[in-house]
Amino acid sequence: MDETVLPVAQDGQYQITANDVGIYLSVWAPAKGGWTVTRAAIIEELTNRKCTNFDSNFISVVIREAMGTPVLIANTGPKIDGRYEISANDVGVYLSVWAPGNDGWPVSKAAIIQDLTDRKCTNFDSDFISVTIREAIGAPVLIVSSQLSVLPPENLVRVKVGCKRLEARVSVNIPVDKPLITYSQLLADLKAAGVCYGIDEDALSMLTQTHTATNIICARGTPPCKGDNAFLKYYIDPDSQGRPVELEDGRVDFKETNNFLCVEEGQLLVEKIPATPGTPGTDVFGLPLPPKPGNDIQMPVGQNVINVDDWRLYAAINGHLYIFLDKRINVIPIIVIDGDVDYSTGNIDFKGSIIVRGSVQPDFFVKAGGNVEVCGTISGGMVEANNIIVRKGIQGMKRSVIKARERLVANFIESATVFADEDVIVNDVILTSSVYAGLRVIVEGGRGLIRGGRVSAGELIRASTIGNQSGVVTEIAVSVNSLLKDELISLRQQIKKAEVTYNELQLAMSHFRNQGSKHLSSEKRERYTKQELEYKTLPDRVETMKQRITNIERILNTAKPGRVRVSGYIYPGTIVCICSLTKSLNDSLQFVSFYVVGGEITFSSLR
């Protein structure tokens, strides 16, 4: 007798590792109803390892996320203090400042000022030194110009250049018994001070009309423009998560809530738009002012993503997008619903596997490209997946349709329609349901009862009891794979039709391209866009149909001659169908096996 082995619960796990940077914590989620990792156990182990500089709240977050990858929770690397360097050339005195690392101390402004004073340099701007320390770009910054103040003979005109070399100010102090300064003299004074760029002619003209003026801006440099920062362009909008779908008529479908951002293998997720270098400026001496480039940004590489040249992130697997606390992009192959599938989650259509801790409520559906496990019941909902496990059972309410592309395992099935390409395995009862299995239907373990409805299998139906003493009509059929055969015929017809459609679309694409998209009307352009999308996706749909045909042919070719085996009683009112033959029971039978011999349905004892 075949037995159904249900998965064993697995508790969550954690691992603590360390390197030169710090201490890392990896946490794995529990499976099949196992216990989660406790924060107390992790904190106790960290304390035993003499590690105390951790954030217990952040540890709780890492446990909850349970990504299975190392997360830095404590920094142990050496502190690196900030440093500075003072240099000089013909232009002036420069200050280079490097930022501290790993919580090290920043550069002291007092130390720099003391160093400058010791070097007999006093005409600096204290506030500008503060700015240089704060920005800490690690490159020389001019803080004192050797041409800051140039006094021509007789002290009639003074030219002063600002510390950033972006302004030249002129002061004149001409005795009233002396003639006014001329325009050409002012230009010569500026040239003598090295000022040759951004001359303000109007300001110079004004100075030619006065004996006294102070700090008049007569030249302006062009400041450099900092480059634009790098940023991430998301091809999946994270803000659309949890937003209900709006229908064409303006109504909102609260069953379609987009709680999970599903992605496919190879799909582009994120692209980094690089920082720009900025635009250089020019100081009043005509010298270039280098721009500060825009800030770079790290690619948010997480689990199951492919980082191409630190430029683009692609999904490595089918799954759903999950953005971790530190903004890393992850693709998770399994969706776990902690409660029911209802209005709080909406319908779920996912290419990976799904675990539902609660139940699937009426009129909601769960569709998976992988497997589905429901820890509660399917109560009037719909489920489609490869393998389906329903821990408590299926309460169909005459509207549930369950489709398993491989095997279905449930505690009971009542008032539901169930399809499985391979086996349907039930622990307790099948009541008034339509059940179709490509290979076997096995109802054993509890009552092992099939009563009412129709149960069909490709090669074997096995139960403890079929029907009841009241004579409820119960139809049992084996070696009748009409559903799979009908689907096989339909798929072959669809492939032929798709091949014709593909050729037509190919001609249409060629015609549109020859015309040129610029010359198309808006209506034709919209039609072209739709046809182009169908042209690109049709080959994948055909390939999926071909794979389905291969699977159906395998099931039909490997099926054994049909049998019905009853280890208890089979009651009157039961109709047994094997191939095209039918036998109605008028008497109760016990411990029997039904099969075909000589063109008739016969039975023999199992004893």
Under 8 Å between Cβ of 580 and 601: no
Lowest mean pLDDT: which of 61-65, 488-492, 526-530? Answer: 526-530
Higher pLDDT, residue 555 or 184: 184
Instruction: Give, as one character, the DSSP assignment of residue 297.
Output: -
Integer Cα distance of 117 and 137 in angstroms:
23
Look at residue 98 in the predicted model and tell me its pLDDT: 86
Tell me how far apart the alpha carbons of residues 25 and 70 are, in angstroms, rounded to a whole number. 5
**Strand, helix or coil for residue 393:** strand
Comparing C-alpha atoms, which of 556, 574, 571, 563 is closest to residue 601?
563
The lowest-confidence range among 289-293, 439-443, 513-517, 586-590 is 513-517
User: 36 versus 373: which is more confidently predicted?
Assistant: 373
pLDDT (0 to 100) of residue 239:
61
Question: Residue 589's beta-bridge partner residues?
Answer: 570
For residue 122, CA distances in Å to 118, 130, 133, 143 come to: 9, 15, 18, 11
User: Which residue did the predictor score with more confidence, 451 or 146?
Assistant: 451
Kindly tell me if the per-residue pLDDT of 5 is higher than 60: no
String of DSSP letters for 232-281: EEESS-GGGTTPPEEPTTS-EETT----SEEE-TT-EEEEEEPPP--B-E
- How far apart are the two ends of the chain, measured CA to CA in Å? 14
User: Residue 488's pLDDT band (boundaries 50, 70, 90)?
Assistant: confident
SS3 of 221, please?
Answer: coil
Contact of 197 with 180, CB cutoff 8 Å? no
Instruction: Say what the pLDDT of residue 607 is.
Output: 62
What pLDDT, on the 0 to 100 scale, is given for residue 116? 85
**Structure-block tokens of residue 551:** 């699977």
Evaluate whether 414 touches 432 at the Cβ level (below 8 Å).
Answer: yes
- Tell me the two tokens of residue 19: 């390197």
What is the distance, to the nearest Å, from the Cα of residue 411 to the centroid of all Cα atoms in its chain? 35
Amino acid present at 241:
Q
Mean pLDDT value of segment 62-81: 79
pLDDT digits (tens, 9 = 90+) for 313-323: 999 988 888 87
- Strands 13-18 and 22-28 turn out to be antiparallel
Helix (H) or strand (E) holding 142: strand 141-145
Note the pLDDT of residue 433. 96
* 3-class state of residue 383 by DSSP: strand
β-strand 334-337 against 460-463: which pairing, if any? Answer: unpaired
pLDDT attached to residue 578: 87
pLDDT in tens, 528-546: 777 777 888 888 888 888 9
Task: Kindly tell me if the per-residue pLDDT of 496 is higher than 80.
Answer: yes
Residue with tokens 């801006």: 217
Cβ atoms of residues 381 and 362 within 8 Å: yes
The DSSP bridge pattern shows strands 393-404 and 408-420 to be: parallel
Q: Mean per-residue pLDDT for 180-195? A: 88
The predicted pLDDT at position 215 comes to 86
Q: pLDDT digits over 9-20, tens only?
A: 688 889 888 877
Give the C-alpha separation, 158 to 215, whole Å: 9
Contact indicator for 350, 336 with CB cutoff of 8 Å: no
Q: Evaluate the CA torsion angle 152, 158, 159, 163 in order and state its sign.
A: positive
> pLDDT at residue 252 above 90?
no
CB atoms within 10 A of CB 113: 15
pLDDT of residue 151 exceeding 70, the answer is: no
Percent share of the chain, pLDDT over 90: 32
Per-residue pLDDT reduced to its tens digit, 119-150: 777 778 888 888 888 888 888 888 887 644 43
pLDDT, mean of residues 462-474: 93
Q: Cα(324)–Cα(332) distance, rounded to whole angstroms?
A: 11
Radius of gyration of the chain (CA): 40
Helix (H, G, I), strand (E, B) or coil at 189: helix
Within 10 Å of residue 88's Cβ, how many Cβ atoms? Answer: 13
79-111 pLDDT, tens per residue?
A: 677 888 888 776 778 888 888 876 678 888 888
Pairing of strands 334-337, 353-356: parallel
Mean pLDDT of the chain: 84
The more confidently predicted of residues 32 and 461 is 461
Model confidence at 517, pLDDT cuts 50, 70, 90, reads low
